[in-house]
């Protein structure tokens, strides 16, 4: 964290990789550490929650109060009332899965509903209904850059969280070109394994920093800057 | 638990209601207690997981190895490769969200894809592709009994987990009539609040038992028994 905090726009710890090892306390302490030492860098808890009303409320408490996350990823399959308990935390971000970066994303997300694919319906619902407090973001994988352009066209300047560069081999320049807003902003491009495992030696921190600098350079050199 | 173990076919602890209170250890110990004292009663961990491949593997480890659950609920939005890490535990159940019991279920699950609704596409994928090891179940809410009949027609004898009776006011007789297999089986009808909160007094255990007996009676009196 200390090796990269001046280079990144956010951290996105992945819940499963703590939960499988009974390491919830380490997740709590990691987020607390980021907030304390790098208060300008928000933390997105990647937990992909999705449940009915009273249970979704408990998940919102878990993410925002217990872990103190600034944002959390959620799954839209259960619809509006499963998202509202998160959305009502108006000062926190709710990052809704839209078009994910994995091969199986096709199974449901690409199904045609009239003239729209399911992920486009999710993008429209986010833009038109779920974003009344201005705290929605969407997940759109880097591995499908054409879909990123489709989503950008539907959601205005809504920020997009883009996993799938690095280990999943999405193309950064293509992602930026298709996903950025008119002002060259609006993207949170996430890289996990390519940075975390940049080196397994004692130079892991400097190797992680170098990998982060490289990705940051690639992102920024592809951005359209307003004149 | 001890007041109801001779009456039920499964327990379904809800992850969020532990996680919001930093009570993962109590969830572990509760499941361990059920296995030790009532080894014939399986535990379904209701955690609604859904993530990409390598992360889904960690969630499967969490559910099946850390918590020792016999089955876990999962969300199908990310498609086949998000389910496979769970499905490959061939001796465990994978309970896939299909038609949930909440009002917002309509937002995506009822969308028409050709002549099928999205939840019917999920049911077909479960029956035709995801159930190759015979360890799939589907969640279909009691609040939409007509949809339960549609799903039953698509999935043969696959077991269905049915939440939404009790506090959510689904009709038990209607659920059983529409959801049972030809042999009068194939349903796990879940009631949480109506049993857990049957009484807040010292008689909570006997009140929970009475509520369980009543629901069990309603279920069994509606079943078609083979001659």
Strands (E), chain A: 44-49, 71-74, 93-99, 112-113, 116-117, 136-140, 160-162, 187-189
> What are the φ/ψ torsions at residue B137 (nearest 5 degrees)?
-130, 165
Q: Which of B108, B115, B121, B127 to mutate to test the interface with A (most CBs of A within 10 A)?
A: B108
Strand partners, A11: A43
Residues 6 or more apart in contact with residue A29 via CB below 8 angstroms: none
Query: Contact at 8 Å (CB) between A38 and A69?
Result: no
Q: A154 in helix, strand or coil?
A: helix
Distance CA B144, CA B133 (A): 28
Q: pLDDT by residue (tens digit) across A74-91?
A: 999 999 999 999 999 999
Q: Which pLDDT does position A167 carry in this prediction?
A: 67
- Structural domains in chain A (count): 1
pLDDT at A2 over 80: yes
Residue at A10 is within a domain:
no
Query: Which residue of chain A has the CA closest to B126?
Result: A107
Q: What is the pLDDT along chain B (227 residues), one digit of tens a residue?
A: 999 999 999 999 999 999 999 999 999 999 999 999 999 999 999 999 999 989 999 999 999 999 999 999 999 999 999 999 999 999 999 999 999 999 999 999 999 999 999 999 999 999 999 999 999 999 999 988 899 999 999 999 999 999 988 766 778 999 999 999 999 999 999 999 999 999 999 999 999 999 999 999 999 999 987 65
Chain-chain contact of A104 with B121 (C-beta, under 8 angstroms): no
**Of residues A109, A115, A107, A63, the one with CA closest to residue A89:** A63
Query: Which residue of chain B has the CA closest to A13?
Result: B55
Residue at A1 is within a domain:
no
- Any A CB within 8 A of B23 CB: no
Which one of the listed residues B36, B48, B88, B117 is annotated catalytic? B48
Task: Check if the interface score ipTM surpasses 0.85.
Answer: yes
Distance CA B91, CA A225 (A): 55
Q: Which pLDDT does position A92 carry in this prediction?
A: 98
Q: Which of A58, A106, A114 sits opposite B79 (nearest CB)?
A: A106
Strand partners, A188: A161
Residue at B47 is within a domain:
yes
What is the 8-class DSSP label of residue A189? E
Query: Contact at 8 Å (CB) between B115 and B106?
Result: no
As a whole number, mean pLDDT of residues A59-68 equals: 98
Q: What share of chain A is helix, strand, coil (3-state, %, to 5)?
A: 45, 15, 35
Q: Which pLDDT does position A73 carry in this prediction?
A: 98
Helix ranges (H only) for A38-139 are 53-60, 80-87, 105-109, 118-125
Distance CA A52, CA A104 (A): 24
Residue at A128 is within a domain:
yes
pLDDT at A53 over 90: no
- Any B CB within 8 A of A110 CB: no
Residue at B205 is within a domain:
no
Q: Which of A13, A15, A18, A19 to mutate to test the interface with B (most CBs of B within 10 A)?
A: A19
C-alpha count within 13 angstroms, C-beta hemisphere, residue B42? 14
Residue at B125 is within a domain:
yes
DSSP string, A16-58: HHHHTTT-HHHHHHHHHHHHHH-TTS-BEEEEEE---HHHHHH
Strand partners, A97: A139
Residue B61: count other Cβ atoms within 10 Å of its Cβ.
17
Q: Which pLDDT does position A32 carry in this prediction?
A: 98
- Any A CB within 8 A of B180 CB: no
Domain that holds residue A47: 16-222
CATH of the domain at A168: 3.20.20.70
Chain-chain contact of A79 with B103 (C-beta, under 8 angstroms): yes
CA-CA-CA-CA dihedral for B98, B108, B83, A169, to nearest 10: 170
Q: pLDDT by residue (tens digit) across A144-166?
A: 889 999 999 999 999 999 998 87
Query: Contact at 8 Å (CB) between A43 and A13?
Result: yes
Helix ranges (H only) for chain B are 16-19, 24-37, 53-60, 80-87, 105-109, 118-125, 145-155, 172-179, 193-196, 204-222
Q: In what helix (H) or strand (E) does residue B97 lie, and over which residues does it extend? A: strand B93-99
Which class for B182: exposed (0-12), middle (13-18), buried (19 or more C-beta within 10 A)? exposed
B117 catalytic residue (yes or no) = no
Interface of B with A in 39-78 (CB under 8 A): 48-53, 55-56, 58-59, 61-62, 65-66, 75-78
Distance CA A20, CA A27 (A): 12
Distance CA A76, CA B77 (A): 8
Q: Which pLDDT does position B166 carry in this prediction?
A: 73
């Amino acid at each position: 964290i200390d090796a990269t905090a001046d280079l990144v726009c956010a951290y996105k710890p992945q819940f499963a990789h703590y939960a499988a090892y009974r390491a919830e306390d380490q997740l709590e302490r990691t987020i607390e550490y980021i907030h304390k030492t790098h208060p300008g860098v928000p933390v997105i808890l990647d937990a992909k929650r999705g449940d009915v009303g009273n249970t979704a409320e408990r998940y919102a408490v878990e993410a925002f109060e217990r872990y103190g996350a600034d944002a959390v990823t959620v799954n839209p399959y259960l619809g509006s009332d499963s998202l509202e308990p998160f959305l009502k935390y108006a000062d926190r971000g709710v990052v809704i899965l839209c078009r994910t970066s994995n091969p199986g994303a096709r199974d449901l997300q690409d199904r045609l509903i009239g003239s729209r694919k399911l992920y486009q319906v999710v993008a429209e619902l986010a833009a038109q209904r779920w974003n009344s407090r201005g705290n929605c973001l969407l997940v759109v994988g880097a591995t499908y850059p054409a879909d990123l352009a489709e989503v950008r066209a539907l959601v205005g300047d809504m920020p997009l969280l883009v996993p799938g560069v690095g280990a999943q081999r999405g193309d950064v320049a293509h992602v930026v070109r298709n996903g950025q807003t008119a002002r060259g902003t609006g993207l949170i491009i996430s890289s996990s394994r390519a940075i975390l495992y940049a080196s397994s030696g004692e130079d892991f921190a400097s190797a992680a920093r170098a990998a982060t600098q490289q990705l940051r350079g690639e992102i920024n050199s592809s951005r359209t800057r307003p004149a």
